[in-house]
Amino acid sequence: IQMTQSPSTLSASVGDRVTITCRASQSISDWLAWYQQKPGQAPKLLIYRASNLEAGIPSRFSASGSGTEFTLTIRSLQPDDFATYYCQRYNLYSWTFGQGTKVEIK
């Protein structure tokens, strides 16, 4: 199963609403996670099971989707949100990341 994110790069301003899309090459139900990674840091879990917000993650992050199409939305982009975001499908025996979406300052 391949995971494809779009766009690869996104230029936005503080306060903007930002949406990232992740598509699976075949249905993965809702077995999808989203991660945020900043330069020089480890990834951080944002969302699991497609739409569940991880504890401690700000509520401006939300996600939805099932089957083959998923979205991550940042309601009002904050300076701390400029980073690269990865989707990941998971099951019992394999885990696949999307190629990443870099959110940069416009």
Partner 1 sequence: EVQLVESGGDLVQPGGSLRLSCAASGFSVSNNYMTWVRQSPGKGLEWVSLIYGGGATYYADSVKGRFTISRDSSKNTFYLQMSRLRIEDTAMYFCARGRGNYFPYFATWGQGTLVTVSS
17 vs 38, which CB is nearer to partner 1? 38
Distance CA 99, CA 70 (A): 14
Distance CA 104, CA 83 (A): 7
Q: Give least dist CB 104 to partner 1, A.
A: 15
Nearest to 23 by CA among 102, 103, 99, 104: 99
Instruction: Note whether 26 binds partner 1 by CB under 8 A.
Output: no
In this chain, which stretch among 17-25, 56-64, 72-80, 85-93 interacts with partner 1, using CB under 8 A?
Answer: 85-93
Instruction: Note whether 43 binds partner 1 by CB under 8 A.
Output: yes
Instruction: Note whether 21 binds partner 1 by CB under 8 A.
Output: no
16 vs 44, which CB is nearer to partner 1? 44
- Give the end-to-end CA distance of the chain in Å, rounded to a whole number: 33
